[in-house]
Amino acid sequence: MKKLLIGFTVMLLTSFSVMAQKGPRGVPAIVLNAFQQQFPKARQAEWERRKDGTFEVEFNVGLVGRDQKAFISADGKVLKHEEELSASALPDAVKKQVKTEFDGYRIDEVKKIEEAGKITYAVDLESRYGDLKVSFDQDGKILKERMD
């Protein structure tokens, strides 16, 4: 009986360690490692392989973390990172530009986007006149604007 219990315990522990090593189906180890190094506190990761061969992962950081998204190449390079922010987290220059250029609009959603070493902010604006999507650089310069 004792041998049976020990054997069962060993088998159970072995199966748990095998399950712990298994990553998301179809995601190469180099991509998973790059993700874990860049975002060690990521939770609830959902992976998708894109048509261009890159991997898109949506995740949260922390207990009440905001949604984030990363795009990682097949060789493990983080190409782009998007993070939802609160309006109060926008740089002052961007907030000032929104106030002066888009009077009458309110900030609905904000994303901080890091790509190729540059940071931009995608801001969704709402008003009774219609909705806008506006991209800003860190200094508040408008990069792109379109109706939503």
Query: How much is the pLDDT for 23?
Result: 52
The answer to whether the Cα torsion of 20, 24, 28, 33 is positive or negative is negative
Beta carbons within 8 Å of 71's beta carbon, 6+ residues apart: 50, 54, 55, 56, 78, 79, 80, 81
Q: What is the CATH number of domain 86-148?
A: 3.10.450.360
Q: What is the pLDDT of residues 97-108, one digit of tens each?
A: 999 999 999 999
Query: How much is the pLDDT for 7?
Result: 46
User: Which residues of the chain are modeled with pLDDT < 50?
Assistant: 1, 4-5, 7-22
- E-strand ranges in 13-105 read 42-49, 55-61, 68-72, 78-85
Predicted structure pTM score:
0.79
Residue 34: what residue type? A
Q: What is the pLDDT of residues 121-137, one digit of tens each?
A: 999 999 998 999 999 99
Q: What backbone phi and psi angles, to 5 degrees, belong to 78?
A: -75, 115
Query: How much is the pLDDT for 22?
Result: 40
Question: Hunting for tokens 């189906």 — which residue is that?
Answer: 25
Domain boundaries of the chain, sorted by first residue: 1-73, 86-148
User: Is 142:123 a contact under the CB 8 Å cutoff?
Assistant: no
